[in-house]
Amino acid sequence: MTVTIVGSQLGDEGKGGVVDLWGDAADVVARYQGGDNAGHTVVEGGTEYKLSLVPSGAVRGKVGVLGNGCVVNPATLFEEIDDLRDRGLDPDVRVARRAHVIFPYHRVLDGIEEEAKSDSDSEVGTTGRGIGPTYEDKAGRRGVRVGDLLDPDVLREKLEYVVPQKQRLAEEVFGVETGEEFDIASLYEEYRRYGERLAEEDMAVDAGEFLADRLADGENVMFEGAQGTLIDIDHGNYPYVTSSNPTAGGAATGTGLSPGVVGGGEVVGIVKAYLTRVGSGPLPTELGGVVGDTPGYDEQGEGENEELATYIREEGGEYGTVTGRPRRVGWLDVPMLRHAARANGFTGIAVNHIDVLAGLDEVKVGHSYDLDGEEVFTIPATTERWAACEPNYRTFEGWEDTDWGRVAEEGYDAVPENARAYLEYVSEEVDADVYAVGVGPDREESVVVENPFE
């Protein structure tokens, strides 16, 4: 069977921890989109593993697959694998031959475009990992795929076509001088060697076939979404989005399995009990707080409830895993969750970080919005209209701080009563049962109500 783990908000909902929690029952953990822009923090027995590309199941000895929908930076891939090996693990990672490859010039172009947009204050606030430019080349049918790294002649031919174009784009359109990131000979040498290593370690696969065979053998497959629904290129807050589909449909197109396979399994939405955002764009329930030079921030709820935002940011350790940027903080946005529930078809949800809100007198949620004098219950399609939304809040009584380790051991009934009222409200609004509640960063600090693999 399959279980798909999807972020229901803006990323950073704690998906890695949930994948790890249920990873025991999975034989294979596959990523279906994104690249090394993702930050997965997995804590195991007090040791923290920070991964950005390798599926987090690799920490628990599962086969990790990077599907065709991913964009792969081989330098990051091998760095993470080598690091895990140095720490005594033996990761088994397979990479789709159809996945596209991130080159150093993609990263440079990512930075150049952000810089150009900053003149009009319209930068996205990307992670700078070259994600957008790599997907652009994929859609433009000029990308280099993992399979091409294994064939030096094809690799050279493709680089000879694409690199001069990219160089001209950087130099003539953007007026930026280019360096070795655009040097065909050195790119060829470096990436040919990555291809050799992929071949030596037998890592390149046809992801769809590989996964279908494992399922046919009766194995369990988990699809690990990166980022979240609201930064999905189709269903998110365009243009402040990533360039892939974190939503559940991406698990089919990004692995080569059918929508029936994905939809026939469980789709679990990961919800953080409050909201965070790195990068630009509206955030109607934003609590304010000074977060340095986060683009787009000034237009949003500046200064209001600054102390509370800072408190939640510190308690929740809300700093970007990949970039270290402080995250913007807001109350839970329920119109956002309704949108995510429809786009993904959640069969269950996991709500994380309820411990972070413990000790507050009251906890608010944005239940609906006022937009042009009307009450609306889901997210408008355009950024401008979303930015014009005024939240209608509901207030819940706060819950006490407690021994969360004990709560995790004793189960759902030990969750403070007011927190349970909050969880049950969320569950009803998205029409999906609560499968797990995160009460701390460690895998053991989760209340499991239902394991989707059972």
For residue 239, give the DSSP letter.
T
The reply on whether position 80 binds ligand IMP by CB under 6 A is: no
Q: Quick one: which segment of 65-73, 236-244, 261-269, 412-420 binds ligand IMP (CB under 6 A)?
A: 236-244
The reply on whether position 103 binds ligand IMP by CB under 6 A is: no
For residue 179, give the DSSP letter.
-
For residue 102, give the DSSP letter.
P
| Pair 35, 66: CB distance under 8 Å | no
- Which has the closest alpha carbon to 149: 227, 96, 208? 96
Options 36, 40, 106, 333, the catalytic residue: 40
Q: Quick one: which segment of 36-44, 265-273, 337-345, 384-392 binds ligand IMP (CB under 6 A)?
A: 36-44
The reply on whether position 19 binds ligand IMP by CB under 6 A is: no
- Strand 362-371 relative to strand 374-376, pairing: antiparallel
The reply on whether position 56 binds ligand IMP by CB under 6 A is: no
| Pair 334, 426: CB distance under 8 Å | yes
The reply on whether position 187 binds ligand IMP by CB under 6 A is: no
CB of 309 to ligand IMP, least distance (A): 17
Which residue of the chain is nearest ligand IMP when measured via CB? 279
d(CA 118, CA 279): 13
* Whether 40 is catalytic: yes
Contact letters for ligand IMP, residues 112-141 (x by CB under 6 A): ------------xxxx-x-xx---------
* Whether 24 is catalytic: no
The interface with ligand IMP within residues 358-387 (CB under 6 A) comprises none
- Outline where 119-255 has alpha helix (H): 131-139, 146-149, 152-168, 184-200, 207-216, 249-253
Residues 6+ apart with CB under 8 A from 272: 9, 12, 13, 14, 332, 351, 352, 353
- Which has the closest alpha carbon to 352: 404, 301, 306? 404
12 versus 20: smaller Cβ distance to ligand IMP: 12
68 versus 242: smaller Cβ distance to ligand IMP: 242
- Strand 446-448 relative to strand 433-438, pairing: antiparallel
The interface with ligand IMP within residues 263-282 (CB under 6 A) comprises 278-279
| Residue choice 240, 297, 404, 422 for contact with ligand IMP (CB under 6 A) | 240
The reply on whether position 38 binds ligand IMP by CB under 6 A is: yes
Q: Which amino acid is at 279?
A: G
308: alpha, beta or left, given left = phi > 0 and alpha = psi -120 to 50? alpha
Contact letters for ligand IMP, residues 291-330 (x by CB under 6 A): ----------------------------------------
73 versus 368: smaller Cβ distance to ligand IMP: 73
Give the active site residues: 12, 40
Residues that bind ligand IMP (CB under 6 A): 11-12, 37-39, 124-127, 129, 131-132, 226-227, 231, 240, 242-243, 278-279
